Amino acid sequence: MRRDLRFGKETRRPLNLDWIPGALKWLFQITIVCFLAFVFVWYFGRRVSNIGDSMAPLIENGDVVLVNRILYDASVPKRGDIIVFKPNGNENLHSYVKRIIALPGERIQITDEGILVDGELLDEEYVTSGISDAGLAAEEITLAGDEFFVLGDNRESSEDSRKADIGNIRRSEIEGKAWFNITPGKRFGWIE
């Protein structure tokens, strides 16, 4: 058996680049999926842990909710919306979860009759507790053009707009709307 020895005379095979279009297609698809995932998580998937029982029974202490951060770029917050905000814009505080009761420009007062918005009794279609301490709202408050008045549903255990350290919430302090409770169990699901 004879072997040919070829010193210095290597045969070169042509370089096969047929895989490049397929790889570029995969890279493009992966980039699109990562971008869409980032956008979804950034705008709809921010997680906030509720601290305290101020929103019970709808949202309990330790429940984790998802925040829709893009909704209020396209629309305005409405009465009854459950929002997430940083009081006084203080980034060092935890995020609060409360319900909007009064809108910009409205007058609000809490009396023995209940919550008065522009002099009329507020009809609430969600479960709340009674209010024994009206706080700042014992006297009528007129909201500025960018302010909202918020309360927790569990009014006896809520630090909200009735308290001086929270007060009225400016539009710029609102992070978004709480839209989904991801805590396993009976509260898992849409927040309404």
Q: How far apart are CA 97 and CA 81, in angstroms?
A: 10
CB 179 within 8 A of CB 190: yes
Give me the catalytic one of 25, 95, 98, 157.
98
Q: How far apart are CA 49 and CA 64, in angstroms?
A: 4
Q: What is the DSSP letter of 101?
A: E
| CA angle (90, 135, 111) in 5-degree steps | 135
Q: How far apart are CA 175 and CA 164, in angstroms?
A: 21
54 is catalytic: yes
Give me the catalytic one of 25, 49, 54, 132.
54
Q: Tell me which residue of 159, 10, 36, 9 sits closest to 98, measured CA to CA.
A: 159
129 is catalytic: no
Q: β-pairing, 169-170 with 189-190?
A: unpaired
CB 175 within 8 A of CB 44: no
Both tokens assigned to 51: 């601290």
Q: How far apart are CA 188 and CA 182, in angstroms?
A: 5
Kindly list the catalytic residues.
54, 98
